[in-house]
Amino acid sequence: MTIPAQFDAKTIENKWYDYWMKNNYFHSEPDHRTPYTIVIPPPNVTGVLHMGHMLNNTIQDVLIRRARLKGFNACWVPGTDHASIATEAKVVAKLKAEGINKNDLTREEFLAHAWEWTDKYGGVILDQLKKLGASCDWERTKFTMDPDMSASVIKSFVDLYNKGLIYRGYRMVNWDPEAKTTLSDEEVIYEEQQGKLFFLNYKIEGTEEFLTIATTRPETIFGDTAICINPNDERFAHLKGKKAIVPICGRVIPIIEDEYVDIEFGTGCLKVTPAHDMNDKTLGEKHNLEIIDIFNEDATLNSFGLHYQGQDRFAVREAIAIELQTIGALAKTEMHLNKVGTSERTKAVIEPRLSDQWFLKMEDLVKPAIKSVLEDGDIKLHPVRFNNTYAHWLNNIRDWNISRQLWWGQQIPAYFYGDGKEDFVVAENIDDALKLAKEKTLNLKLETKDLKQDVDALDTWFSSWLWPMSVFGGIMDPESEDFKYYYPTNDLVTGPDILFFWVARMIIAGYEYTGQKPFTNVYLTGLVRDKQRRKMSKSLGNSPEPLELIEKFGADGVRVGLLLSASAGNDIMFDEELCNQGKAFTNKIWNAFKLIKGWEVSDTIEQPDSSKVAIEWYEAKLQQTLVDIEDNFEKYRISDALMGIYKLVWDDFCSWFLEMIKPAYQQPIDSVTFAKAIEMLENNLKLLHPFMPFLTEEIWHLIAERTAEEALIVATWPELKSFDSQLIANFESTIEVISGIRTIRKDKNIPFKDAIDFRVVNNDNASTYFDSVILKLGNINDLEYVSDKVEGALSFRVNSNEYFIPITGNIDVAAEIAKLTEELNYIKGFLKSVQVKLSNEKFVANAKPEVIENERKKEADALSKIETIEHSLAGLK
């Protein structure tokens, strides 16, 4: 076969991905093998590939490809999430651009537009993952709004409702006025914002006296229904039982007493707005206060806002301050740092709002999830420090608000048969609902047209928390072959930002529905940041386009570049240079392969001793690396595993092994060594394949013609065998010896083609096993072990051994003496500075032990170098 001079990533990537797809290597069906299962964290259906996806899915692909090589029945289930809020927002924006208002459409008409949008853009991100090399089982691709997936969600809701775990309540919720829906507590991000504190004067009814109250939200005075004072506060004792007048609207409100009021905070009294503050709502219920909601769903003021009706809350805040000042009701303003809740999705400031919502009781559901991770260790988070975050969320969990005021998503399966708040039944479909409604009302004349389904949709997370079960049909048919074979899954790779939203909830659902954990290990990746440590975002212009990176550096180069710096849980400081490093590694492997395949092979040449030794050493080194790789994978140190392979291939294979076995210029290599070189290369390719699938598959097939059954993707991972660790340790000393020879050749301008003599004083009684390698790589004419120092020779040390290269006519002795003398004087000066520091009692008393140890090591190294140089000088004089 003709081997191209350059590795053409683009052509090769398309070629091998098509080949893998054609031969159906990614697809899995239950069989006799042990399954290894991963479910993808489903990206938003409207999303496109970003750097976080690249990192997350590269790690998943590494795990799944390695599992295939290790003989597991590997199944990686891909899919997308319907992302209620994000998708509905995009569809609403698209309709608005076309002059269509969502409110003018029926639910069915809007959903038709949403499905059209999803069908058009929904597959983009999955197609992009193929460019990365993701070996997902595409035949199993799922979408959280697929009929069977939606049916699972509805069945789950009905089941939990029938167990008494889902209830409907009139509660204060987090309202997103931009998305026009509620959010769970976990979807609210609290940010410190600089604002103002407004001190408002409320006139006491029937007097000229005023009561001053501080608030950050003067626009909410239209919803005030009381003023509250502490009954123990003597300053306001005379106001007990009196009433106050709300500025501008003139509403007369009672002055109530409650010890909830902090006497020391602010002015010692507060305005009570039960419709727009959680604590005020509690006070309102306790004191039976009127509830006045002053906002529309988009956070503009309604008719209770009087002449501000229709205006945005923040615009009203500025305008009402001016009006209050004009009428003398604004005493003063102060700058104030305030924690403000914002929507994780839209970034809008959250508005507390009272409404009827559906909730899931979490107190008992969460217990197995706490026990499994924090007590029994059945599920392990990597890195383990995230156990603290997990514990904080789950030990402080509240009931989950699972309803959303959206149309895109699974519609809540509650059917109302009357106008009362409790006039409903919950069922999987309207026919079942009709039966239940008839039983509940004893009205046999009820018809389906009399039932009205709840208009709200379920929280997206309420569908994705079932993901590891529902993708295998486990909710609808727990006895299905797929579910019993693939569940529980093995590993989950995701970001720590959704540890609670998704990971913890999947664990909760898994134990609730199966009594089993949904996965064993959770690998939490870090965030991909730029080299200035900033989070990547389009607004900052610091987020590279992933497909452009693949175009520039090749998929394998990008995968390696990302993973080399991606230790679990730690943020990645991304730099394109990392991908360049990955591309350079690709070229290194390609060129090493070309070198081997370029050798002429002879069956008649005897195998040199240096090659025998080299093969024994590299086989041991590969086994040592394999042990480290297995250990790193077990601990989910994927980056460390790759670095181990990287060093094995770049340093040990390319820089040493190939040099040790390389035939002389224009000479053939013996067939035994060549066969072993190919075997070692193939083992390298197996280790590299999970990280660099395209390059390795290409080289694998260029080495020899292979059938589909012999492809690298389904080859066998190298087998762990015993190895001689002393052999590896001995070669480390050999490397130092060869490096010493090369340094002298370079410094003294002795060409490599000129053979030299070499003498060794073996004080360490070191192994002579690698002498044949020293002879070859040092181009040594004569290697002799001697008992005394060699006069008139250049020398160096490795440990206690001394090595000598007798001087030939090629060396200018006078110049060499001058150079060594200059080096000796420099090291003596350095030694003196170190010894001055170590003789300083104050320094020794105050410095850390490791600092003292480091200085002593410097002293020892300097003394050793001085002795070596002095020996070299003595030999030259």
Closest CA to 554 of 56, 19, 132: 132
Closest CA to 134 of 70, 57, 77: 57
Q: Taking residues 352-366, what's their average pLDDT?
A: 93
Amino acid at 772: S
pTM of the model: 0.83
pLDDT exceeds 80 at position 540: no
pLDDT tens per residue across span 70-93: 999 999 999 999 988 888 888 988
pLDDT exceeds 70 at position 264: yes
Question: 674: pLDDT confidence band, cut at 50, 70 and 90?
Answer: very high
Choose the weakest-confidence range: 62-66, 234-238, 469-473: 234-238
Q: Taking residues 556-577, what's their average pLDDT?
A: 84
Q: Are 62 and 537 in contact (CB under 8 A)?
A: no
Q: Which residue has the higher pLDDT, 337 or 252?
A: 252
Q: How confident is the model at residue 601, as a pLDDT?
A: 96
Q: Taking residues 538-558, what's their average pLDDT?
A: 86
Q: Taking residues 277-289, what's their average pLDDT?
A: 89
Closest CA to 341 of 184, 521, 489: 184
Write the DSSP symbol of residue 441: H
Among residues of the chain, what percentage have pLDDT more than 90? 69
Q: Are 140 and 471 in contact (CB under 8 A)?
A: yes
Among residues of the chain, what percentage have pLDDT more than 70? 98
Write the DSSP symbol of residue 99: T
Q: How confident is the model at residue 811, as a pLDDT?
A: 67
Measured CA to CA, the distance from residue 622 to residue 683 in angstroms comes to 8
pLDDT tens per residue across span 735-794: 999 999 999 888 888 888 889 999 999 888 888 999 999 999 999 999 999 988 888 788
Q: What are phi and psi of 258, to 5 degrees?
A: -160, 140
Q: How confident is the model at residue 810, as a pLDDT?
A: 58
Measured CA to CA, the distance from residue 579 to residue 188 in angstroms comes to 36
pLDDT tens per residue across span 682-716: 999 999 999 999 999 999 999 999 999 999 999 99
Closest CA to 466 of 33, 136, 157: 157
Pick left, alpha or beta for residue 506 (phi over 0 → left; psi -120 to 50 → alpha; otherwise beta). alpha
Measured CA to CA, the distance from residue 66 to residue 62 in angstroms comes to 6
pLDDT exceeds 70 at position 539: no
Question: 653: pLDDT confidence band, cut at 50, 70 and 90?
Answer: very high
DSSP string, 810-861: TS-HHHHHHHHHHHHHHHHHHHHHHHHHHT-HHHHHHS-HHHHHHHHHHHHH
Q: How confident is the model at residue 809, as a pLDDT?
A: 61
Measured CA to CA, the distance from residue 501 to residue 470 in angstroms comes to 17
pLDDT tens per residue across span 443-466: 999 999 999 999 999 999 999 999
First to last CA, the chain: 59
Measured CA to CA, the distance from residue 457 to residue 367 in angstroms comes to 27
Q: How confident is the model at residue 187, as a pLDDT?
A: 81
Q: What are phi and psi of 536, to 5 degrees?
A: -75, 135
> Average pLDDT over the chain, rounded to whole?
92
Q: How confident is the model at residue 355, as a pLDDT?
A: 85
Question: 136: pLDDT confidence band, cut at 50, 70 and 90?
Answer: very high
Q: How confident is the model at residue 867, as a pLDDT?
A: 84
Question: 570: pLDDT confidence band, cut at 50, 70 and 90?
Answer: confident
Choose the weakest-confidence range: 179-188, 263-272, 498-507: 179-188
Question: 537: pLDDT confidence band, cut at 50, 70 and 90?
Answer: low
Q: Which residue has the higher pLDDT, 382 or 542?
A: 382
Measured CA to CA, the distance from residue 411 to residue 183 in angstroms comes to 16
What are 469's two structure tokens? 């079960």
Q: How confident is the model at residue 869, as a pLDDT?
A: 83
pLDDT exceeds 80 at position 490: yes
Q: How confident is the model at residue 808, as a pLDDT?
A: 66
